[in-house]
Amino acid sequence: MTMSEKLLVLTFVFVVSLSETGVGKTSLVLRYVQGTYAADITSTIGASFMTRKMTVDRCQVRMQIWDTAGQERFRSMAPMYYRGANAALLVYDITDEQTFDDIKSWVKELQHNVDSDIVLVLVGNKSDMASQRKVSGETAAIYAEEINALFFETSAKADSGRSRVFKSSLIAFCSHAQLFVLLLTNVL
């Protein structure tokens, strides 16, 4: 079996949502992992953990998804979840400019505390409420480019965009992993 035919089996640690409360982090994850949506979800306390298996580009990946609490009183716990993570979703509410501004402090924290190979994903949630938009897609796309992040807009409620968020993140991660394996193979 050649290297191109082998299936690379990986564990992908995904920290979802380093962002403020109420932006729809949990709804986005539940919609992706379980295919469900509930309008009246309670705030996450500390963090919740979910898994999902997926195969992308000859990579079989077991995603470990940590959904962290957005309340300020739990912020000090966040490093326990994002250290060692392969990706971080930075979720904001497109109808609330303050949630977008708050992402910038999370990005600074990540840049100071994690490996530079982490896949950053900026996600504007609640795109079903576009008529109430306060953060333009163009503004968010420019910021995503500045921080070298993928950028998507989603709606957990309308079930749009969420698959692209996770799949694109996995593709970026698998590309790094496959390159690493090829480099190792050539060295050994």
Taking the alpha carbons of 76, 61, 147, 144 in that order, is the dihedral positive or negative? Answer: negative
Q: What CATH topology corresponds to 8-187?
A: Rossmann fold (3.40.50)
**Crossing angle, helix 162-187 and helix 25-33, to 10 degrees?**
70
Whether 178 and 170 have beta carbons less than 8 Å apart is answered as: no
Taking the alpha carbons of 71, 74, 75, 78 in that order, is the dihedral positive or negative? Answer: negative
**pTM of structure:** 0.78
pLDDT by 10s per residue, the chain, length 188: 444 556 666 665 655 555 666 778 778 877 887 777 677 766 554 566 677 888 877 777 788 877 765 545 445 555 655 667 788 889 999 999 999 999 998 898 888 877 667 889 999 999 999 999 999 999 999 999 999 999 999 998 999 998 899 888 888 877 766 544 444 344 44
